[in-house]
Amino acid sequence: MVQKYFTVSDKHDGAYHESLLGSKVVIMEREGLQAQLVMYLDQIAALLEMMAVVNPDILIASGFDLTKDRRGRARTNATAAARSAAGTEQADGESGA
């Protein structure tokens, strides 16, 4: 999962810099990648929370900000967009085989 996060993060970095030129297609791609990153970070955070039941010190070492919970309606919309984008990406990969 962490490797997938880094792969999408690298793609997002490239799309971000390309989107500065104003291409609407690249901006849409960037937004989809950003939604995927949010989804992966949510999954990583959930795993850390589960592991913290056994070892609470893992949360301190994780680097996540423990004082703020930023979840809300926008997060669910971003997660739905990421799942949609991930489904499209998987379908493209299967049809290209």
Give which of 11, 17, 73 is closest to 40, Cα–Cα.
11
Q: What is the pLDDT of residues 27-84, one digit of tens each?
A: 888 888 899 999 988 898 888 888 888 888 887 787 766 666 666 555 555 556 556 6
pLDDT given for residue 72 in this prediction: 57
What is the 3-class SS of 54-89, one letter each residue? HCCHHHHHHCCCCCCCCCCHHHHHHHHHHHHHHHHH
pTM (2 d.p.) = 0.51
The residues, ordered by sequence, that sit 6+ positions from 81 with a Cβ below 8 Å of its Cβ are 31, 32, 35
- pLDDT tens across 71-90, in order? 655 555 555 655 665 565 55
Give me the number of domains the chain comprises: 1
Residue-level pLDDT at 97: 40
Domain that holds residue 17: 2-95
SS (H, E, C) 15-37: HHHHHCCCCHHHHHHHHHHHHHH
